[in-house]
Amino acid sequence: MSEDRWRRLSSRDLAERHFEHHPGVGDLIIETAPPRVFRRGGGRDADLRGMHGYPATVEDMAAFLVAVGPDFQEGKVIPEAHQLDVYPVAATLLGLEVPDTIASDGGPLRAILRAP
The model's pLDDT over 43-102, given as tens digits with 9 standing for 90+, comes to 676 676 656 667 777 777 777 889 999 999 999 999 888 888 999 999 999 999 999 888
In this predicted structure, which of 6-20, 27-41, 52-66, 93-107 has the lowest mean pLDDT?
Answer: 52-66
* Structure confidence at residue 77 (pLDDT): 92
- DSSP states of 14-57 as a string? HHHTT-TT-TT--S--EEEPTT--EEESSSTTSEEE--S---TT
Most confident option among 4-8, 17-21, 33-37, 55-59:
4-8
* Structure confidence at residue 38 (pLDDT): 76
The DSSP output letter for 92 is H
Domain limits of the chain? 6-52, 63-112
Separation of alpha carbons 60 and 39, rounded Å? 20
Q: Which phi and psi (to 5°) does residue 45 adopt?
A: -90, 5
Question: What is the three-class DSSP state of 7?
Answer: strand
Q: What is the pTM of this model?
A: 0.60
Q: Nearest-5° angle of CA 14, CA 16, CA 22?
A: 45
* Structure confidence at residue 23 (pLDDT): 86
Dihedral angle over CA of 92, 96, 100, 105, nearest 10: -10
